[in-house]
Structure 1
Amino acid sequence: MSAAAARPARPRRSVLYMPAANARALEKAKAIDADALIFDLEDAVAPDAKEAAREGACAAASSGEYGYRELTIRCNGLDTPWGRDDIRAAGAAAPSAVVIPKVSSAAHLAAVSDLLDTAGAPDSMRIWAMIETPAGIAHAREIAGFERTDAVVMGTNDMAKELHATITPDRAALVPHLATCLVAAREAGVTALDGVYNDIRDADGFAAVCRQGADLGFDGKTLIHPSQVDPANEAFSPSLDELDFHRQVIEAFEAAVADGRGVVTVDGKMVENLHVDEARRAIALADAIAQR
């Protein structure tokens, strides 16, 4: 199991990509209610702006000006002219994690980890591994289980491209592969983040995909626009009604155990140990959200 599994979970319902070449966007991010930010050096940055973006991302990550928001930096791939320098610079800046695109294997992550160590990154600094290629899907278990992995991030656009698949409203072509990666994350005890939704004008479509991701079991969603933050936070948070039911489950089960019974009924539903575990997980998440 990953070393990340031993650490308490933190809310990662909304994880917003911010283009690190855009100083105004980096400033605006300080007031956006996202659980986590990804300062992006990859897709959102033109080649001639890569080095300036790297400086901006590292300065932002080490500024201490983003409050409760978890800060990460998405580096360029190791197969690009910028990837290794990105990782070394991020290691020195020491955000919560580096986000690595198109991870193909545990060996890929070992190379990233070595670069972080060379840069003097703290042992607490993690890797968020993007799974977006056939190789990544095929090696999802070893990627999620790598000792420095703290999250697996679905790169659904590249995944669809590499698979020659079409992204339909129900994402039918991608769901089997999303599930494969989710199982790997759950086995390793790391966060699983769903991929982005491309149409920022389609609020209903976005809400539906958030519900699907939450129903599948993802912890949160990566986002491309601030308008998506509040709907994602809502979709991946337990509702007040759910929390009330979870508290009833725990109270009823504890009373049943005290009476020597292992099964109890709450609102006509049979409750066992597994339901209590889920209730406690949901309440712990709600408490973590409240403490941000």
Structure 2
Amino acid sequence: MRIIRTALFAPGTNQKVMAKAVASPVDAVLFDLEDSVALDSKALARQMVREAITELHNSTREDKPYVMVRTNAADTGMLEEDIAQIAVAGLDMVFIPKAEQPDDMKKIDQQLESLEKERGLNRIAIGLQIESAIGVYNCYNIIKATSRIQLTSLGTAQDGDLQNDLGCGWSVDGPEMLYARSKVLLDSKAAGNVISIDGVFADLNDEEGLMIESKMSASLGYVGRTIIHPKQIAIVEQAYGITQATLDYYHLIVKEFEAAEQKGVAAITINNKLVDYAMYRQAKRLISTVQ
């Protein structure tokens, strides 16, 4: 799966906003059927999202964003119909909010497999939005429920579901959710090749806060985050990206280490720092994230 630094939410009943999201320079568009859609508009949202996916899929655009759809949660009774309506050519991932139980993921996997065979679709991935204490606790086992799960996202928004469930405070520096962030990231890595992105930063006018929180998140190992407006794109890309100086340094590590390896040497010094296979693998990994 490609690295996703920016995944832009767009309400499924707002055609103008969905079109704007698709046209934005984001890694992924995230059409929403859940919290931004009124209960009596769910059917309309499914139809509009399905049409938006099909239109993008049929376009000749070469730089198409990754396409995700946030469904309604498993316990709402709406999830099965959500998936049935939006599983069309061009959908890359269903993004499941309030993910809590492995059995729910197994049911989604079975439904997707059936729809893929019936409709001749490519394999559709599953993303998890972890928004509760039990979701954090069960994260590893949820991921292991199906190989379709390729992404986790922790619901870190101020006054969001996770903060409410934990009963904790919230701050830009993020110590209140540090354990949850760390556990979801660790479980994602331990359970398989799953990338982790952070949740939304709700204050559109606090660019400094967005940068501070994003840099903290990136330092933990998150590769990007969900966003709610195109104005957040540049800040998030900067916070989660790699500077040219850092990239040059890692290219130097790869070059010098591979040259030394050819001579039978597996431990060298670059800029007064020890470089062995561990550092070489780290350099290769980080370089791969920008290719």
Check the 8 A contact 1:41/1:76 in 2, yes or no. Answer: yes
Check the 8 A contact 2:54/2:88 in 1, yes or no. Answer: no
Secondary structure, counterpart of 1:150 in structure 2: strand
Secondary structure, counterpart of 1:139 in structure 2: helix
Aligned-residue offset at 1:193: 0.9
CA-based RMSD of the aligned residues comes to 1.6
2:13 is the alignment partner of 1:17: no
Q: 1:108 to 1:94 in 2, by over 3 A?
A: farther
2:31 is the alignment partner of 1:47: no
Check the 8 A contact 2:109/2:148 in 1, yes or no. Answer: yes
Aligned-residue offset at 1:94: 5.0
Check the 8 A contact 1:59/1:93 in 2, yes or no. Answer: no
Q: How does 1:1-292 map to 2 (within 5 A)?
A: 9-63=1-55, 64=57, 65=59, 67-93=63-89, 95-120=91-116, 122=121, 124-145=123-144, 146-156=146-156, 157-187=160-190, 188-287=192-291
Q: What residue identity is the alignment partner of 2:250?
A: H
Aligned-residue offset at 1:93: 4.8
Q: What residue identity is the alignment partner of 1:186?
A: K
Aligned residues: 279
Aligned-residue offset at 1:160: 1.0
Check the 8 A contact 2:53/2:88 in 1, yes or no. Answer: no
Check the 8 A contact 2:22/2:29 in 1, yes or no. Answer: no
CA distance in 1, matches of 2:270, 2:203: 41
Check the 8 A contact 1:94/1:125 in 2, yes or no. Answer: no
Aligned-residue offset at 1:56: 1.0
Higher relative contact order (CA 8 A, sep 6+): 1
- What's the TM-score, normalizing by structure 1? 0.91
CA distance in 2, matches of 1:23, 1:130: 24
Query: 1:129-164 deviations in whole A, cap 9, x for unaligned?
Result: 111111111111112233110101111221111111
- What's the TM-score, normalizing by structure 2? 0.91
Q: What residue identity is the alignment partner of 1:174?
A: M
Identity of aligned residues (%): 27
Check the 8 A contact 1:152/1:185 in 2, yes or no. Answer: yes
Q: What residue identity is the alignment partner of 2:155?
A: G
Q: 1:150 to 1:179 in 2, by over 3 A?
A: same
Gaps of at least 5 residues in structure 1 are 1-8, 288-292
Gaps of at least 5 residues in structure 2 are none
